[in-house]
Structure 1
Amino acid sequence: MQENPGPQLPHGPQAPGYPYQPQQRSWFLPAPRGARFDHLARNAAARPWRAIVGTLAVAAGFFAIGFGAVITFLTLAWLLGLDSPVTPAGLPEPTPMGLAMTLLSLAPLLLVVLGTVALVQRRRPGTVSSVAGRLRWRWMVSCAGLAVLALALGQTVQWIALTVSGLDSDMFGWAGWETFLPLLIVIVLLVPFQAAAEEYVFRGWFTQAVGAHVNNPIWSILIGSALFASLHGYQWAGLMDVFAFGAVMAWLTIKTGGLEAAIGLHVMNNLLAFGVSAAAGTLEESMDQANVSVPWQALSGTVVQLGVYAFGVIYLAKKRSISNISG
């Protein structure tokens, strides 16, 4: 007599003792292996329309967050009976509330980029941070330490160049602790997120959106740096400074396989810039970019700063075997 073989199960290996469960497809598609940072969006769902829609989504988030921050802070000031954080000319006031409004109009873009990567490009958000699929924190801290040295040398050269030219550098001044301390708290708490958000937009999202369909990274570096500079209201020397900064940061991002080097310098640079302006009582002039006059002699400091930093980052990356391709 033949034994009952039991219910028929689907073909395929199955662990004994466990009922069959159909496999579910993950929303996130795997990133390509052995790919540069700018090619990490080249998954099975990569289509030109996704890069376009994603870029429009990030741009829409930029305007929505900026508008929302202004409305929120104006409402908060009205409810609390505080002075308006916006000047009659529509510029942020050089107060802790005005500075917080400015920084928070940019910082949430980091979340917009991560969400766009996940929803539009169907890839894990960590792939916009580095080829490791995450932010490499120890490497970023090392880059931030190197940034302090590069900034110190760059600022020293800039001060010497301006002094020799007979120009007032406006680098030193003291507004008093009563003015400086509240601004310093806002700067320390929010500037890292603001600077990181800008890197995730321009050196992260834009570099990979273009790189998903273009082999040569020079196009994403140049176009992204031009867009980055266009959002600053400086005069020609200041725009050259910002463009050079963006181009070198994009190059380092690709060479090191992640945003850590770019975030490290951007955060330290902005902490210094906002901190010095707040200490000297010149924050109002610094926030009004259209009226900031950057002498061409100051570009000497930019050359030293970016040169020292780029050389140091590449040296440390090779010494520590920092991967620049996905595993």
Structure 2
Amino acid sequence: MRTSVFATAEIPSGESYHTLARTTRSRWWTTPLTLLVFAVLLSVLWMGMALAITIVSVIGGSGLTPESVSVGAIATLAFGLASTALLIPIVFFLVRVVQWRRFGSLMSVEGRLRWPWLGRCLVLAVGPVALCLLLSWALSDTLVAGTAPEAVSSVAVSGTGMFLGALLVIVLVVPFQAAAEEMTLRGMVMQLMGSLVPKDSTGATARVLRSPWPGILAAGTLFACLYAAGHPGNVWTTAALVVLGMAMAWLTWRTGGLEAAIGLHLVNSLVQYSLVVYDGRIDEIGTGAVVGAGLPAGAGTPFGLLLTVLQVGLFALVVVASANRRGVRRVSP
């Protein structure tokens, strides 16, 4: 029976998550070609989104009435979040066309997104996120600015209509935005690192690169490094991003898929964005003040860093315990 040369490579058997890109079709030039194509597609995406945001801002926000300003702000929010969500088709193209493997191999060792496990991770994320949110409200009057409950009353300045419109955008787009970031950072980056060394390579360097830790380090710190380059003064936010990124990268390897990282990222982002919009600070979303990386409320201070450590630590404990009880697969069949 004849097989098409364009057929996807099979998922390698008995492999951990970080090595799933090391298929029979992977070559030495696969990783640099993936990075080159990603850079080109990302540049096109940024230019297109910048043009779209400019057009919407001119049309929707150029009027003198408050309604036109609100429409422009909501549209800018939608385009800003969508620009990250559009990483999903880019990553899909890279995995399926450039690397010639199944897109499901990016999601988990089972070659698909494990929906029941994702739902479980979302439920498990609610407790740590709620606990840290309550702690930030209870203790942040003098430690964290802008997260106390009394600041929320400023929503009256923006109006209920704008809040509901922005909240609708957040609920509809943030799940894709959170998933896109995890597919790119904890998924593609980690698996690219794991594919650098062929299976038959020996030696100390090969053993180190074949271990999960280079991929965990790269996937966990890349976004923090990019953020630090653009915001060198926000050291506490950078530190929180490192803690969050390393923990989510380790959980991705430990549970054999992206579900845990997507779960915490999604719950945190929904809470953070909703509070920011309710507080009338919609323009801060996507800036250095409000980072859409799934950090808990109050990030940017030593107290916020402590909250991040507490939150990801509790989440990692309950996720690992639940994964052990449910027999979540860590290696490919």
- Normalising by structure 2, report the TM-score: 0.83
Counterpart of 2:42? 62
* Conservation of the 8 A alpha-carbon contact between 1:158 and 1:299: no
* 2:218 aligned with 1:223: yes
* 2:288 aligned with 1:308: no
* Conservation of the 8 A alpha-carbon contact between 2:136 and 2:144: no
Counterpart of 1:193? 176
The structure-2 alpha-carbon separation of the partners of 1:294 and 1:23, relative to structure 1 and needing over 3 Å to count, comes to closer
Amino acid at match of 1:156: L
- Deviation string 1:10-64 (CA, Å, 9 cap, x unpaired) is xxxxxxxxxxx64545521112101000011111122232112112222332232
SS at match of 2:14: coil
Structure 2: stretches of 5+ with no match in the other structure = 63-70, 197-208, 292-298
* 2:300 aligned with 1:294: yes
* 2:262 aligned with 1:241: no
Counterpart CA distance in 1 for 2:146 and 2:57 is 35
Counterpart CA distance in 1 for 2:192 and 2:131 is 35
Candidates 102, 107, 111, aligned match of 2:85? 107
Counterpart of 2:60? 82
The structure-2 alpha-carbon separation of the partners of 1:161 and 1:118, relative to structure 1 and needing over 3 Å to count, comes to same
* 2:321 aligned with 1:324: no
Counterpart of 1:281? 280
Structure 1: stretches of 5+ with no match in the other structure = 1-20, 85-92
Counterpart of 1:170? 147
* Conservation of the 8 A alpha-carbon contact between 2:74 and 2:162: no
Counterpart CA distance in 1 for 2:116 and 2:93 is 25
Counterpart of 2:186? 203
Counterpart CA distance in 2 for 1:138 and 1:290 is 34
* Conservation of the 8 A alpha-carbon contact between 1:161 and 1:300: no
Report how far residue 161 of structure 1 moved. 4.1
Counterpart of 1:269? 268
- Deviation string 1:82-130 (CA, Å, 9 cap, x unpaired) is 216xxxxxxxx98211111111111111111111111121111110000
Counterpart CA distance in 2 for 1:262 and 1:323 is 16
Amino acid at match of 1:193: F
CA RMSD of aligned residues (A): 2.3
* Conservation of the 8 A alpha-carbon contact between 2:136 and 2:147: no
Give the percent of matched residue pairs that are identical in Structure 1 and Structure 2.
34
More helix by share: 2
The structure-2 alpha-carbon separation of the partners of 1:287 and 1:223, relative to structure 1 and needing over 3 Å to count, comes to same
Counterpart of 1:15? none
- Normalising by structure 1, report the TM-score: 0.84
* Conservation of the 8 A alpha-carbon contact between 2:102 and 2:111: yes
Q: How many corresponding residue pairs?
A: 297
Determine which structure has more spread, i.e. the larger CA radius of gyration. 1
Amino acid at match of 1:207: M
The structure-2 alpha-carbon separation of the partners of 1:138 and 1:285, relative to structure 1 and needing over 3 Å to count, comes to same
Report how far residue 307 of structure 1 moved. 0.8
Q: Which moved more, 1:232-241 or 1:106-115?
A: 232-241
Counterpart CA distance in 2 for 1:261 and 1:181 is 29
Counterpart CA distance in 2 for 1:291 and 1:31 is 38
Counterpart of 2:199? none
- Deviation string 1:270-305 (CA, Å, 9 cap, x unpaired) is 111111000111222344316998221221211111
The structure-2 alpha-carbon separation of the partners of 1:303 and 1:49, relative to structure 1 and needing over 3 Å to count, comes to same
